[in-house]
Amino acid sequence: MADRSLDWFKQANRDLEHATEAAQNRKYEWACFAAQQAAEKAVKALHLSLGQEAWGHMVSRLLRELPENVEVTEELIDKGRALDNFYIPARYPNGHPEGAPFEFFGKKQSEEAILYASEIIGFVRNEMAKQKRDH
């Protein structure tokens, strides 16, 4: 199987750019979702670079399922949990009891989502660089 980890990581960065642009355009629900996608793809890139496949969309679980030799802090997992909350409710009207998704997301949520996704991408970048040095 070819190593596609760099492709996943590059797309994670692109998704983070999209999140930032969406927030600037006050499309906060899309900023939150794109930030979640950025973090998810980054962690999947790390799994792939370690020779393992990762399935699912929950960033916190993807972080917890990394091998033991990859030190993931509880704080980073908590940030992943915060991003997990944007996977469905930011896109689907039935993710809330009533109202459209854009009515539930604002500047504060998008700023937090972008910050957390940036931190997770930074973590993945460091881990992938460390792995490259060690091999």
**6 closest CA partner among 130, 119, 125:** 125
User: Each residue of 21-64: pLDDT tens digit?
Assistant: 999 999 999 999 999 999 999 999 999 999 998 899 999 999 99
CA distances from 31 to 18, 28, 53, 77, 129 (A): 7, 5, 27, 20, 27
User: Each residue of 70-107: pLDDT tens digit?
Assistant: 999 999 999 999 999 999 999 999 998 999 999 999 99
Residue 133 pLDDT grade (very low, low, confident, very high; cuts 50, 70, 90): confident
Taking the CA atoms of 66, 43, 40 and 53 in sequence, report the sign of the dihedral they define.
negative
Q: Which domains does the chain have, with CATH numbers?
A: 5-134 (1.20.120.330)
Structure tokens at 27: 């499309």
Higher pLDDT, 44 or 135: 44
